[in-house]
Structure 1
């Protein structure tokens, strides 16, 4: 393995927190769909559904804030260069996947926020009625709510596909190419380049 430069501690912390929250939110979103079906069938209360949605919105706003912080950090701090042995198409694919992640990490919460803002029902951060979720200045419209909500909901699969591509490439570079690429983002000493 070569001695590969590492990302900054801030970049590493933001990377792993956002990754865990983003993957968790995909599965939590699917759970919320099941809860909604359960509510329609009388199996769960509307309050349980609303609480789940409030937590989803709270965490979604947290992901948005962390993602904006991560993007700001990325734009103001030099990232480690790619290993010398990487093929040009691999470098291009890595950049494309990273920027696609930024689009989805920022776009998904914004679409969810638009959907929530276009709906007449109030949302509460942390399920606390004293902390209403701020609304974006969009019209309250069922159509806008439905369209933005559908776009938001459709983002789960792209997140998982990007994650598989990203994680698969990192593992390939670590264990097949042995170029220490994974060690740039993981704080475990045995994986460092």
Structure 2
């Protein structure tokens, strides 16, 4: 390993906050689809659906901001090197998964924002009518709303797949390789 044994406290904090938010948003997004179906079936009131969507949009904007902060931090601060003995394909896979996460952490909120901006319905941060979600300069039409919304919704599966790969690799390093890699991101573990 290099002389940087751990990630910084800022990197660790952003890692775990974003992990929880991303995972929660995937499942909340699926819950919102159920609410929407309930709206069309007449079993869920419109206000409940709007509140859920506005909460999702507010959290998505928080993820976007935190992801940009995390990326800026990552690009301006040294990170721990890869453990000695890692095979080249493992290093390549680790880098690919990390950068794929950045693409999704930034791309998913932007695609959701495009979808919200293309909709004629207003969006509010924190369900507060005095805090409208700013619209991106995209056409307000149903086609763009549907396409961007579908792309946004489909991103849940890649997030879950990356989570699985990331967690499996971390556990492999902790319990099979015993190289202290996991301790760099979980402060209570010893390296």
Question: TM-score category by the smaller chain?
Answer: over 0.9
Decide whether the 8 Å contact of 2:104 with 2:159 is kept in 1: yes
Q: What SS does structure 1 have at the residue aligned with 2:89? A: helix
* Paired residues for 1:61-76 under 5 Å: 61-76=61-76
Q: Which residue in 1 is equivalent to 2:119?
A: 119
CA deviation map 1:148-188 (0-9, x unaligned): 00000000000000000001000100111000100000121
Residue 138 of structure 1 corresponds to: 138
Runs of 4+ with deviation above 6 angstroms: none
TM-score by length of 1: 0.96
Query: What pairs up with 1:1-193 in 2 under 5 angstroms?
Result: 5-188=5-188, 191-193=189-191
Q: Quick one: distance in 2 between partners of 1:128 and 1:154?
A: 28
Following superposition, the deviation at residue 192 of structure 1 comes to 2.3
How many residues in Structure 1 have an aligned counterpart in Structure 2?
190
Q: Deviations over 1:82-132 (max 9, x none)?
A: 001111110000000000000000000000000000000000000011111
Distance 1:119 1:43 in 2: 23
Q: CA deviation at 1:141?
A: 1.1
| Unmatched segments (≥5 aa) in structure 1 | none
1:4 is displaced (CA, Å) by 7.3
Helix, strand or coil: the match of 2:86?
Answer: coil
TM-score (norm 2): 0.97
Over the aligned positions, Cα root-mean-square deviation in angstroms equals 1.3
Does the residue aligned with 1:86 lie in a helix, a strand or coil? Answer: coil
Provide the rounded CA distance (Å) in 2 between the counterparts of 1:69 and 1:4.
Answer: 21
Return 5+ residue gaps in structure 2 as ranges.
none
